[in-house]
Amino acid sequence: MQFKLFYLFLFMGFLFAKPFECVPNQHKIGYLAIKEQQVITQSHVAYVKFAIEHFKEKKVDFVLLELDTPGGEVMAAQQISHLLKQLDTDKIPVVCVIDNWAISAGAMLALSCRTILASKDTSFGAAEPVHISENEMKSAPEKVRSALRAEFANTAGFFGRSKEIAQAMVDKDLILVKRKGAFCLLDTEKSIKRSDLMISPKDKLLTLDAELCKEFGIIDGYVESGSLKDFKLLQTEDFAGFKDAEVIAYKDWKIGFFSFLLNPVIASLLTTVLIFLGYLELYSGKGLFGLAAFFILALIVLSHFAVQAMPYLEIAILSLGLVFLFIEVFITPGFGVLGSLGLVLTLFALMTMQIPEFNLSMPVLSFSVAFDQLVWRFGAFLASCVLGLIIAWQVTRYFLQKAPFFKKMILQTTLEKPQSLSSALLGEVGLTLSPLRCSGKIEFKGKVFDALCTSGFIEKSKKVKIVGVRGQTLIVESM
């Protein structure tokens, strides 16, 4: 009886049960934003790179890129362009939505997307590479402009857009006309025919409004300004089938924080602070400023390593430089070959960290622009070091010596005038006023002198014997 009831209920279950319905998977859309007229920097490379990896894990259907930028660093834009095109190759298309500006490097990013939509007030183009010097902008050398022309042409051609229009946006020496329904680039005005329709004359960079972009096939359609606010764009007919899609906006505070540190201005500021703290550590010898300097150095290294923008070669150079400095200061005090080499290697590694990595897929553009970046970043790094030293010298001279907290840490006594040093001091005994980690201060007969120990490490308040005179510095050894 029990078995009969079981089969009866089983039969009734199949009889009255609703047919199984396959619930389709919810669509997912990735969202990237370089908006509010942000300048494109290396920090955006880190943001886009990690966002794309996150979108691939979430298996998004496509990616929305909201763009409103006046441009920025060429190498940063090139790296982002490569990432966007690679994402399209991986079967995840990118839809660029321009809300006002896609100028200079921003135009390169827009051209790197399969679909481009733009608001009616869009400005697109004006991508000539420039140098900023002596408060004025100058056109980049021809080798840079030539390489960037090729990059723009290849990027435009990747999605079937006009290569001629893209090149005219980069070089104002080119003349763009429409001849027999096709775009044509001319080098001289003599080549212009009466039947040609002038698009961009000589000495004028090509900048298009939304209407001309649509007419020339650069963009695929219009959108209302601010249409991505609350993602109202997804409710339009152009995105039918994606009205209820899940929008995934990549956010990671760690990448955001380290990307902030990668900003050239912030990186230069950190370098200034690092030099400032290093100077104070040498001045006081207490270790507090050295610990703070090590923390700043760790931030600089981690900010580059966390976003994978620092090659292992730079890590090796930095590590080797720090090891040499450690040996020179703590194991074999002095400041000879190892100390000098360690300082040079450390400063070199810190400088090269601030230079964007190369993209070998475009060696001409990468190395041409990289050289300019190297010169500019080297100047910024050198200026940061000099500024740090000047600030540290001024602070120790006018502030720290009067601050109660630092009176026990910073030497207060005035140094003896240089002309009083002579070989008559040999064999005399002095007292260390600061730790001698190869160098420091000693007191002799109520007067203060710069001193250099011959070997080892000498603590504060220890007796030392004067064994030599080197210029204005006393050479001492422990007793």
Q: What is the pLDDT of residue 403?
A: 58
CA-CA distance, 201 to 142, in Å (whole number)? Answer: 19
CA-CA distance, 99 to 107, in Å (whole number)? Answer: 12
Q: What is the 3-state secondary structure (H, E, C) of 113-155?
A: CCEEEECCCCEEECCCCEEEECCEEEECCHHHHHHHHHHHHHH
Q: Which residue has the higher pLDDT, 410 or 294?
A: 294
What number is the average pLDDT over the span 404-424? Answer: 52
Q: What is the pLDDT of residue 268?
A: 81
pLDDT digits (tens, 9 = 90+) for 5-32: 333 333 334 333 444 333 355 789 999 9
pTM (2 d.p.): 0.69
Residue 4: which pLDDT band, with cuts at 50, 70 and 90? very low
Which residue segments constitute the domains of the chain, with CATH numbers given? 28-171+206-251 (3.90.226.10), 172-201 (no CATH), 254-309+356-406 (no CATH), 418-478 (2.40.50.140)
Distances (CA, A) of 449 to 280, 407, 421, 429, 471: 19, 19, 9, 12, 12
CA-CA distance, 347 to 343, in Å (whole number)? Answer: 6
pLDDT, mean over the chain:
78
What number is the average pLDDT over the span 238-264? Answer: 79
Placement of tokens 């698009």 in the chain: 199
- Asked which of 26-30, 128-132, 458-462 is least confident by mean pLDDT, the reply is 128-132
CA-CA distance, 370 to 143, in Å (whole number)? Answer: 12
Q: Which residue has the higher pLDDT, 313 or 374?
A: 313
CA-CA distance, 81 to 70, in Å (whole number)? Answer: 16
Q: What is the pLDDT of residue 11?
A: 36
